[in-house]
Amino acid sequence: MIPESFIQDLLARVDVVDVVGRYVQLRKGGANLLGLCPFHKEKSPSFTVSPTKQFYHCFGCGAHGTAISFLIEHTGASFPEAVRTLAGSVGMTVPETERSPRQRQLDRQRKQEVSRHEQVLESARQHYLNGLKRSSRAIEYLKGRGLSGEIAARFGLGWSGEDRRGLTAVFPDYEDPMLVECGLVIEAEDGRRYDRFRERIMFPIRNGRGKLIGFGGRIIGKGEPKYLNSPETPLFSKGRELYGLWESRAGVRREGCVLVVEGYMDVVGLAEHGLDNAVATLGTATTPEHVQKLLRASNKVVFSYDGDQAGTRAAWRALQACLPQMRDDVSVRFLFLPAEHDPDSYIKAYGDKAFRASLEEAVSLSRFMLDELGRRHRLDEAEGRAACVHEALPLLASMPQNAYRLQVEREFAQLVLLTPEELSGLLERARATGRPVEQARGQPQGGGRGFTRPTGESSPAAMAPVQSGAPWDDAGSQPWLEIPPDEGYPVTEALQPGPPGGNRRGARQAAGTRHSVTPMAKQLLRLLIAHPQLVEGLGDQQLEILGHGP
């Protein structure tokens, strides 16, 4: 732990103007300096830096802090990394608390393991990247999906090849345990090894600091699952990571919001049409950790889901994850596309203007919650209203005590014919009696939500389809997959992949071939037999266990 006294000495030595000035163009404005806020989109400067008080503040979005917090929020650095960066810039050495020889040895081993892990992943990334350059089949597939070589290069897309042991070309010691630990190779029960990713377009996965931590693959032939992520590893946990968060950081600041989609093909497809602020969950429901990262990136978040029943269920789970983190300055909205479309297909069919117009009509979190609660219960009778209150109490209780919660409580009280005071009394009674603040049931019943097209938008048949052909013909002047010079992506690090669009509608199924059943697979099968409704909640890792085998 870094001593607090050192933090104060460091802040006294560094100048917040110099730190912020490396990233934001500042001009004099009285006693302070002014600039366009790097944390939200604006045309007139509302971002101020005070040389005398040594802090920054934005009157537009409320961003506020010291030189350390600026580096953390703007660059994605951790607290220790930000402190070390600033200390190095002023010639200070960060003191480390005294640790036992055993602790120091464990730290060294962990750092060596992480370094080795990253080296293995980077070697695989280069192999996949080179494979895409040589594969006309994979390139034709990406062209057919409307992706240009520039976007493929920007997101570091690759090709796994079709060989069962293709990685032997990169790793002569194919029996190295690290290949299994990194999730690149699967070892069957009989000891045979084979590549996890075969016949797949590869999406490098980065964390919020731009470090390569895993891969996702989209199969282009027949087979299941359609989308496959790296398994849980010491570096990668899909419940904590968002695909595209590193790549979209500039787009999020430019657009003033972050758009959450369900698949990494959605992320790259939207980027092809100029929407660079999209991120995706990695084949799992939205978690509180996801929400924390989203709200660090922007105080405006839009979740985009299909308008069918599965999309409504996914949106409800995202709502539950958001409620405990809803501040007065936060805006969370939900966009429900027609059931036959995902963001990638919708923007190809109707264009970016129509998609942006639909974003403007996204429904607020409070409206979605109240409408969904009202749809589940008979509000024209006392029993239905009481049941609605019973379901809503844990949701309301999970929200922080602020003005936003008061507004939601008042609207809900009107919905169920209660006064705000009566609803507050029920909440207090539930808290006093120790009723657990469990999340309300997360499986909305009934059909999917309807979708209202933006004002003035024609029906699909009446609209002229947008030309989605990629600018591949320009490859003569710019080599395919060559990263443009103004893109600041490190060449030694890859980009971060996200959740499967094919999985977004619950269409995953275990492979049809019979394989030997592992103990873990038996446990999962027993659980699914007893609770068949859990099938839709399975992630890629569990599905892979069920279909374990080459």
Could you count the other beta carbons within 10 Å of the beta carbon of residue 40? Answer: 22
- 516 CB contacts (<8 Å, ≥6 apart)? 189, 548, 549
Pair 330, 402: CB distance under 8 Å: no
Angstrom distance (rounded) from CA 196 to CA 192: 12
pLDDT of residue 81: 87
Averaged pLDDT for residues 371-393: 97
pLDDT of residue 350: 95
Helix axes 403-415, 382-397, angle to 10 degrees: 170
Task: Render pLDDT for 6-65 as a digit per residue (tens, 0 to 9).
Answer: 898 899 889 999 999 989 999 988 889 999 998 877 888 999 999 989 999 998 878 899
Q: How high does pLDDT run on average in the chain? A: 82
Task: Render pLDDT for 417-466 as a digit per residue (tens, 0 to 9).
Answer: 999 999 999 999 988 886 654 444 445 544 444 443 333 333 333 333 33
Give percent of the chain above pLDDT 70. 78
Label residue 498 by pLDDT band (50, 70, 90).
Answer: very low
* Homologous superfamily of the 4-89 domain (CATH): Zinc finger, CHC2-typedomain (3.90.580.10)
Angstrom distance (rounded) from CA 73 to CA 71: 6
Q: What is the dihedral of CA 385, 390, 394, 399, to 10 degrees?
A: 20
pLDDT of residue 502: 39
pLDDT of residue 461: 35
Of 74-88, 155-169, 301-315, 474-488, give the range with the top mean pLDDT: 155-169
Res. 478: pLDDT tops 80: no
CATH of domain 368-432: 1.20.50
Q: Where are the domains of the chain?
A: 4-89, 110-361, 368-432, 509-550
Place of tokens 């509000």: 379
**Domain 110-361: which topology?**
Dna Topoisomerase Vi A Subunit; Chain: A, domain 2 (3.40.1360)
pLDDT of residue 497: 31
Task: Render pLDDT for 76-133 as a digit per residue (tens, 0 to 9).
Answer: 788 888 998 999 888 898 886 667 788 777 778 888 888 899 999 999 999 999 999 9
Pair 155, 210: CB distance under 8 Å: no
Task: Render pLDDT for 212-236 as a digit per residue (tens, 0 to 9).
Answer: 999 999 999 888 999 999 999 999 9
